[in-house]
Amino acid sequence: VYKITTQTPSLTGSDDPRLKNFNSEMTALVTKAVADFKQNLADMNPTPTPEGSSFDVQYKLLSPAGEIFSLKFEMEGFISGAAHPYHMSQTVNYNLEQGTDIALADLFLPNSAYLQTISTYCATQLKSRNIDFEAGFSQGADPTPDNYRNWNITTDGLLITFDEYQVAAHAAGPQLVTGPYSELKTLIDPQGPLEKFIQ
């Protein structure tokens, strides 16, 4: 017994291939998330309970108005009999004008140490929180692409999301760090997606 609820962003009003590509990508993302949940259920074969299992997908548009869509998907799953739900994030940064996804490296000048700079900033912020970051979780903020896979372009800065267990225990929940563009200004590509934020 399970219940699945989802939200899927969709652009309408045009047959432009760039919009169609966006819609297809969003549908594929949500479809895969649901399929993964169903596979988890099959693998775990949980004992049925009255409340059953559940999976929910919601999204937020975090970018300011313009040609760039920076979305954050938040997923909550619960397996029947588990002590608590689990949570995951997945972000999408899409350039509507070009009809392509934006990679983190696309924001910065070639060969710049952007990942190390972001990592150093995030680690400093996380150390100041009462989440036991330095007691076994600090590697979750190391400068690796996987640690910084969830990022969003916002008005206030580059938002980094660390999922639960990545930089803190489950009880602390996911951790969010916003790096002001002023901290990254010397590394940002002035011709890239963040151009208007450093003018």
pLDDT tens column, 27-41:
999 999 999 999 999
Q: Could you give the percent of the chain with pLDDT greater than 90?
A: 88
For the chain, how are helix, strand and coil distributed in percent, rounded to 5?
Answer: 30, 25, 45
Of 79, 73, 44, 66, the C-alpha closest to 154 is: 66
195: left (phi over 0), alpha (psi -120 to 50) or beta: alpha
Residue 45 burial by Cβ neighbours in a 10 Å radius (0-12, 13-18, 19+): exposed
Q: What is d(CA 108, CA 117) in angstroms, rounded to the nearest whole number?
A: 11
Extract the tokens encoding 90: 């997945």
Q: What is d(CA 177, CA 171) in angstroms, rounded to the nearest whole number?
A: 18
Q: What is d(CA 152, CA 161) in angstroms, rounded to the nearest whole number?
A: 8
DSSP-based three-state secondary structure for 35:
helix
Contact of 62 with 152, CB cutoff 8 Å: yes
Other Cβ atoms closer than 10 A to 79:
21
Give residue 51's pLDDT.
84
Phi, then psi, of 136 in degrees rounded to 5: 105, 0
Q: Report pLDDT digits (tens) over 133-164.
A: 998 899 999 999 999 999 999 999 999 999 99
Give residue 15's pLDDT.
94
Q: What value does the mean pLDDT take over residues 114-128?
A: 97
DSSP state of 16: -
The per-residue pLDDT of the chain, averaged, comes to: 95
Contact of 69 with 88, CB cutoff 8 Å: no
pTM, two decimals, is 0.94
Q: Which amino acid is at 196?
A: K
